[in-house]
């Protein structure tokens, strides 16, 4: 059963327990992390790949990470690091963002206008906005994650939100995904 024991752990009860804990974390958090990264990438396949890779790395180090107070925070940090690295590998982020903003394939019922508007933000601004409004991290937590001063995160958030509202206003209802988004506050759609 070597493949079912985390590296560094001996098979047996502790290995089975570790596997059970990891499975529980994976099953409860995979979608959540993937959705956050989808908001960042605008590409579900990339988001899923990166999320799966982050969980692979977590399993490789599970004997350590399992003891953390919040293992999913580690997974999220790794996933975001991978996401940003992939993003940077694209020749120019601006060109990539522009192309993605037009070509992102709508997922049925999904706020594609929001995804496209996010894609137009600077990478740092987009990251801050998603982590704050989607993941619910405080500015201090984002600052710690990104390795920057909290004031910098506040600036990213402010600029990101301002730009996001402007970009959202550019999209007409006809451009949005088929499903109704009538539940979205008017302030977001038209401000």
Partner 1 sequence: MIDTKADNQDPALDAAFSQLASSTDSHVDVPGTRSVRATVSRRRTARRMAGLAVVVLVAAGIGAFALNRPSSDDTVGPDTANRGLDNRSAIERVDWKNSTLDMPALKGCPAERVVFKGGDSTDAENTWGLAFGPRGEHKPVFAELDKGESLDAVLWASCRNLTLESPDTHALIGVHLAVGDQPRVMGLIAEWAGDSNLDDVSFEVVDSVIKTETSYADRLPIERSSFSWNGSAFIKSAPDDSYVADDRWWNFKLDIPAHDGRPAESVTFRSGSSRVQTSEQGMPDPYWTVGGNVKGGNKRPAVDADLDGDGEPEVLLRLNYYAPNPIDLLLAVKVSDEGDVRAIGFIDIDFSATAGYQYVNKISVQDGVIKIQISSWDIPQLPDHWQMVYWDGSKFVTKK
Instruction: Record the tokens describing residue 180, joined without a space.
Output: 């109704």
**List 34, 50, 72, 163, residue binding partner 1 (CB under 8 A):** 34
Region 88-147 residues binding partner 1, contact defined as CB under 8 A: 107-111, 114-115, 129-130, 132-134, 139-140, 144-147
Rg over CA atoms, the chain: 19
Segment interacting with partner 1 (CB under 8 A) among 9-17, 71-79, 89-97: 71-79
29-53 burial: b if 16+ Cβ within 10 Å, else e: bbeebbbbbbbbbbbbebbbbbbee
Q: Work out whether 183 is an interface residue with partner 1 (CB under 8 A).
A: yes
Nearer of residues 97 and 113 to partner 1, judged by Cβ: 113
Closest by CA to 86, choosing from 43, 143, 144, 36, is: 43
Smallest distance from the beta carbon of 92 to partner 1, in angstroms? Answer: 18
Region 37-56 residues binding partner 1, contact defined as CB under 8 A: 38-39, 44, 47-48, 52, 55-56
Which residue in the block uniquely carries the two structure tokens 């302030």?
A: 187
């Amino acid at each position: 059963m070597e493949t079912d024991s985390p590296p560094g752990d001996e098979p047996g009860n502790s290995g089975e327990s570790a596997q059970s804990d990891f499975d529980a974390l994976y099953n409860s958090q995979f979608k959540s992390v993937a959705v956050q990264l989808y908001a960042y990438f605008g590409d579900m396949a990339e988001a899923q790949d990166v999320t799966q890779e982050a969980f692979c790395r977590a399993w490789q180090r599970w004997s350590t990470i399992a003891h953390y107070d919040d293992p999913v925070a580690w997974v999220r940090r790794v996933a975001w690091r991978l996401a940003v690295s992939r993003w940077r590998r694209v020749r120019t982020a601006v060109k990539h963002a522009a192309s993605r903003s037009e070509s992102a394939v709508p997922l049925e019922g999904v706020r594609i206008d929001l995804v496209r508007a996010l894609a137009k933000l600077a990478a740092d601004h987009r990251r801050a906005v998603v982590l704050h409004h989607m993941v619910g991290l405080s500015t201090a937590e984002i600052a710690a994650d990104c390795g920057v001063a909290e004031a910098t995160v506040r600036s990213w958030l402010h600029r990101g939100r301002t730009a996001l509202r402007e970009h959202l206003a550019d999209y007409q209802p006809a451009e949005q995904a088929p499903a109704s988004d009538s539940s979205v506050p008017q302030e977001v759609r038209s401000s």
